[in-house]
Structure formats: C-alpha cells, structure tokens
Structure 1
Amino acid sequence: MPLKDDHEQVWKNFQAVVNMTAAEMDEWLDTEESRKVGFKRPGETESVGHASGRRIAQLLRARKSDLDGGDYAHMRKVVAFVKRHRGQGPHDEFKIPTSRWRYSLMNWGHDPLK
C-alpha cells in the first residue's frame, strides 16, 4: 500500500528548487527566449515547460490551503525536472547565461544563475 503524500514536504521541496518569483516567471514567460525552448507535443504551439511555467506562477500566488492533489502532483513533477535537468548543464560556464539549458530551467521556475 503506497504511503500518503506528505504535502508539507512536497511544498518544501518545491520552494527549494523554484527560485523565481511569480512576477519574475510572468516577465520571463513573456520573452521570445522562453517560447523557443522545450519539447512541444504534436499539434501543440506551446512547449511543455512553458505551460508548466504558467502553472508554477499560479502555484506561487496560491494559498497553500487552496492547493489540491493535482497541484501537489505538478510540484513533484517540477522538483524532479529541475533536479534531473540541473545535472545536464553545459560545461562551459561562459555559455550558461544564454544557453537553452538555462532557458529551459527558467521555464520550470529555476534560474541556475541565482
């Protein structure tokens, strides 16, 4: 039998990896760079990461008491993506500021330069 999710731990993990504010997310998601990176499902015009970024900004604005199971599931997805993707970064530190790697992470709420 699976253990019940610990929403408090999921929230803490989410807060630990998402280092951008909702306002920073909104500003970033309005850029051309944010729209150019990430995987797009067939027939979709928005990447998975860009759509996730919009949801992350909403989650950052929400009261914890208003969050539901789907919100916590998305937070777990964000934590897993950021942890996995951070390990795949470019080795040339001079390329990081304008790298697709950084831009993709920023779509998921994490700026590796912060």
Structure 2
Amino acid sequence: MADSLELEALWEDFHRTVNMTSQELAAWLRVRDAGEETEPLPDEAGTATGQHVLAILQKRRTDLTDDDVRVMYRVVDTVGDLVDVADEPEPESTRRRHRLMTLGHDPLKP
C-alpha cells in the first residue's frame, strides 16, 4: 500500500478525475450494457474496471485495498492519456467519451 501522503494525493487525483457520481456511473454502466430486450443486473453491468471504480466511489479512503489503489492509478493515468485539456470535447468523439464515462469521467461535464 502507498504511504499516507501518496495515498492522499492519489485519492484527490482520482476524485478530480472521476467527475461522475456513483449514481451517474451506475446508471451509465447499466445503459451501456443494456440490450434491446434485456438489461444486466446492476451489480454485473459494465466493465470490471467500471464496476471497480463504482465500488471505490462508495468507499472511504481508509477502506481502500491494494487492488483499489492499483485501479485508481490506472484510471487516473488512462483518463489523463485520453483527455486533452486544451481540446474541447467534440460531439463526434462519442466513442472516446463513452470509454471515458466507463471509467467515471464525463468529458462534457464542467
């Protein structure tokens, strides 16, 4: 596990990066996986990483596991790689936006 200062910085980076609430992310994961006639169980909707991000959002910092910390680093790094702060999100970049939303980051959110 990371030391307390490193963990505090990661916690802040993660919550700055993940700008969707747990309710918004849960709803997005269900919509993303819904078919024409079926909808997945809420606990099974979305990718494994999306589900893990959702679980982390519902935890306190003191309850994080080593696996949570690894996922937090991966999410912060991945979103950082996909988001260009100088470049405004464009409507035609729907696929990129959906990938980011699966990680809890909506680039169209202020």
Please give the TM-score of this superposition, normalised by the length of structure 2.
Answer: 0.75
Distance 1:30 1:108, change over 3 A: same
Q: How does 1:1-114 map to 2 (within 5 A)?
A: 4=3, 6-31=6-31, 34-35=32-33, 50-87=47-84, 93-96=90-93, 99-114=94-109
CA-CA distance at 1:53 after TM superposition: 0.9
Question: Structure 1 runs of 4+ off > 3 angstroms?
Answer: none
| TM-score normalised per structure 1 | 0.72
Give me the CA root mean square deviation.
Answer: 2.7
Consecutive unaligned residues in structure 2, runs of 5 or more: 35-43
Deviation at 1:27, TM superposition (A): 0.2
Identity of aligned residues (%): 36
Q: Is the 8 A contact 2:14 2:72 kept in 1?
A: yes
Q: Return the offset for 1:73.
A: 1.2
The whole-number CA distance in structure 2 between the counterparts of 1:93 and 1:76 is 26
CA displacement 1:9-36 (0-9 Å, x = unmatched): 11011011000011111100001xx349
Number of equivalences? 95
